[in-house]
Chains A and B, each alone.
Chain A
């Protein structure tokens, strides 16, 4: 499947001003290209918005463009992380929050599932050990008749 077969229409939100190219417009173009690349090569793409000089208007436009999709996840690890799928499948917004709920890192990821949401093989291995240990002790499994 060539890139020409893949049509991902991105319609600008009605009512948005169309006076020239904004940063949000440029980001949308980048995301559209990244989706095409992902379909062809499975190569994921990340846009880090944390230090990008986005104006309030830019942010609003970007939010309006991307919208909110079907899936959202929260991770409570070292930091709190909020993952939201956008209206466009494969385009995710990942925000890491500090202890005082300030955004420490904000990125847009183009991938099937954001890397951070997956359980790593190492962690699964440790889980298996831990579960086996629980099973080996007088765990819940054996007390049940």
Chain B
């Protein structure tokens, strides 16, 4: 099974080579590869064995899988994902209970050392991982075992990549991202809440043909996470011209002005939303009139508020209280200092009058 190529899988299903070329064209388009790289990918895909993907879910909401399988044009995504490569996913498969667990073991054994492990969701550490168990096994031990046979691990979604919602303050379950646990295998973070479906499939295809993609500091593929939302945003000219929507229903909002004042985190968020867009290229949040939440960045839940502008101070301290309190303390200090200075002035004055000023003795 591991030696079967993608082209052969398509052939078996009765498609001609055209189907394979269509697949290549759409995948390279989604990856935004250069013409030379696209040609190279097509060449390599002909001989590349179809990838075995094992998809494990821990502390997650299944939104990532929803993004992947319920996208507007499920044809391609589901083809690559469900039909070609997916060997195990407990949410999508029909089997349940012990049958499901044995299916997982079989799939892992078959491709041990070669499969691509996709992890969705964060993993809690305390109490021996008791806050998240699947089939009586803690997520932490399950993940360690599965990662042992993986060629690489893809952390899908911000929970798996950076901890996400479970990790948000106060992190009651002690959740950690996958990269905190898997240290001896390459980890690719495909962050987002959820990630764009085409990005997930794109990363799988890229890995199948070229191996590990170039990663940024947060281990995200630079193909998709190389630019900030702000840099690719079609509303950027309005930011540069200083034109901002101030509420969700003012003239500026209607004119499509920049959403910075409404809390847009685009300047510090790296993702492919402005170029790849969502729902089969329909739009992305900013295009729909909502500021970017920054969902592909670590700790995006705890950035001081989704609707608070990026430049504005965070924290829930009382502005008047802190400034007033500091000013009052300043006044007290000032008065005390002045009192000391005054008494010194008085003493100097007295000394001068009595002629005992040693510094400036009277002639």
Contact = CB atoms under 8 A, between A and B. Distances in A.
B10 interface: yes
B280 A102 contact: yes
B75 A98 contact: yes
Given A51-B275, A78-B19, A45 B35 contact: yes
Given A99-B74, A102-B72, A107 B15 contact: no
A99 B35 contact: no
B72 A100 contact: yes
A78 to B, nearest CB: 4
A96 interface: yes
Given A48-B29, A94-B25, A77 B15 contact: yes
Contact of A81 (B18, B28, B74, B75): B18
A122 B10 CA distance: 13
Nearest to B79: A78
A4 B74 CA distance: 49
Interface in B9-37: 10-11, 15-19, 21-23, 25-26, 28-30, 32-33, 35
Interface in B187-239: none
Interface string A84-127: 00000000001010111011111100000001100110110010
A98 B26 CA distance: 9
Contact of B17 (A47, A51, A105, A120): A120
Given A105-B29, A120-B16, A123-B16, A78 B73 contact: no
A39 interface: no
Contacts of B38: 46, 48
Nearest to B31: A51
Interface string B64-102: 000000001111100100000000000000000000000
Nearest to A100: B73
B330 interface: no
Given A94-B25, A107-B25, A47 B16 contact: no
Contacts, number: 91
Nearest to B77: A98
B258 interface: no
Contact of B35 (A48, A100, A102, A115): A48
Chain B interface: which size bin?
Answer: 20 to 34
A106 to B, nearest CB: 8
B285 interface: no
A78 B275 CA distance: 25
Contact of A77 (B18, B35, B276): B18
B73 A51 contact: no
Interface residues of A, number: 30
B17 A123 contact: yes
A77 B16 contact: yes
A84 to B, nearest CB: 15
Contacts of B19: 77-79
Contact of A50 (B29, B35, B74, B79): B29
A122 B73 contact: no
Given A99-B73, A116-B18, A79 B26 contact: yes
A59 to B, nearest CB: 14
A17 interface: no
A75 interface: yes
Contacts of B275: 51, 53
Contacts of B23: 78
Contacts of B74: 99
B312 to A, nearest CB: 31
A107 B38 CA distance: 12
Contacts of A51: 29-30, 32, 275-276
Contact of A104 (B18, B32, B39, B76): B76
Interface in A17-41: none
A58 B245 CA distance: 28
A79 B76 contact: yes
**For the complex of A and B, 6 pairs with smallest distance between CB atoms:** A98-B73, A50-B29, A78-B19, A120-B17, A105-B29, A51-B32
Given A48-B33, A79-B26, 12 more contacts: A48-B29, A48-B38, A50-B32, A75-B22, A77-B22, A96-B25, A100-B280, A103-B281, A105-B25, A105-B30, A107-B25, A123-B16
27 contacts: A46-B35, A46-B38, A46-B39, A47-B35, A53-B275, A75-B18, A79-B19, A79-B22, A79-B26, A79-B75, A79-B76, A81-B18, A81-B22, A96-B22, A98-B75, A98-B280, A99-B75, A100-B72, A100-B73, A102-B72, A104-B26, A105-B22, A105-B26, A106-B29, A116-B18, A116-B21, A122-B17
